[in-house]
Amino acid sequence: MTPLLSVSDLVAYRDEVALFSPTNFAVRLGDCLRITGRNGAGKTTLLECIAGLYDNWSGSIHRPPGKISYLQQTSRYVRTLPLLKLSRLVDGFEESHYRQLVENLDLEPRQNVLLALLSGGELQRARLLLSLLRHHSVLLLDEPFANIDISSCRAIVGELQRTRSHRATLIVTHPHDANDKLIGECLEYALSSDQC
């Protein structure tokens, strides 16, 4: 099967310094690739390169013809709209898909509450819902389990597992994230800066 996304000799630079050594991987439909690395190794930058948000890199990235959806780690997100209104803005919004996701991620009672008033776990599930709502073939997740409780974690993993075969998933986590075992079978890639 042809890879959906492949990365060859990718090196990202910040202030002309390479963040990580040349990186190579490829993912196919249904694959889940877990990317690990210490703090500052460039995991988020790697995802930003793939998502087209960061330009200072060399090597090659072959992106899929379909869209990439990206759940960022950043705290800059829309806060003053409720999930229901925000969802309707998503490119390719479908009511039935939204209803299903709201139910699976246990957000039904909170869909009319401003995002700023949601708890950490609810907010992370809401942000994942928005990412899943958009039509995509590759899903990028930047530390999706950071600072959330086990029930939110299970809801997120459950939804990801249910629809795993529809996409390729890249998850960035820390090397010893306790929640990783919930993800299930995943390919591994350790981001290294040894050669920089």
Partner 1 sequence: MLSSLNGYTALLLMPMACVPVQRLYLKEGQRYDLGATTYVSAGAFVAAAAFAPVPADRDVAFRIVIVLGIAVFAIFLVRVFALTFGRPADFTLISFGQLWATPALIGYELQSLTRGSGLPLQSVVANSEPVALGACVLAASLVYLLNQTTLPDRLIALTEAPEQYRLLFGSPFRLALRLEALAFGVYFAAGTLLRLTMNDLSADTFGTETVWCVLAAALAARSTQAWVLAGPVAATLVRFIIKSLVPARFSTLTVYAALALVLVLVITHAQEASRDAAA
- Tell me if 72 contacts partner 1 by CB under 8 A: yes
Quick one: which segment of 5-13, 18-26, 65-73, 104-112 binds partner 1 (CB under 8 A)? 65-73
- Tell me if 81 contacts partner 1 by CB under 8 A: yes
Among the listed residues 14, 38, 79, 166, the single contact to partner 1 using CB under 8 A: 79
Q: Which is nearer to partner 1, 79 or 162 (CB)?
A: 79
Cβ contacts of residue 173 below 8 Å, gap of 6+?
A: 34, 35, 36, 143, 145, 179, 180
Q: Which is nearer to partner 1, 41 or 86 (CB)?
A: 86
Residue 31: Cβ within 10 Å count: 22
Binding mask 25-54 for partner 1 (x = CB under 8 A): --------------------------x-x-
- Tell me if 85 contacts partner 1 by CB under 8 A: yes
Query: How far is CA 49 from each of CA 10, 149, 187, rounded to the nearest angstrom?
Result: 9, 30, 20
- Tell me if 114 contacts partner 1 by CB under 8 A: no
Which among 48, 83, 82 is positioned nearest to 170, based on CA atoms?
A: 48
Residue in this structure with the two tokens 């959806």, named with its chain if needed: 69
- Tell me if 134 contacts partner 1 by CB under 8 A: yes
Quick one: which segment of 12-20, 68-76, 141-149, 167-175 binds partner 1 (CB under 8 A)? 68-76
Query: How far is CA 71 from each of CA 22, 75, 90, rounded to the nearest angstrom?
Result: 24, 11, 14
d(CA 196, CA 194): 6
- How many chain residues touch partner 1 (CB under 8 A)? 21
Residue 66: Cβ within 10 Å count: 12
**Residues in the site for partner 1, rule: CB under 8 A?**
51, 53, 69-70, 72, 74, 76-81, 85-86, 88-91, 130-131, 134
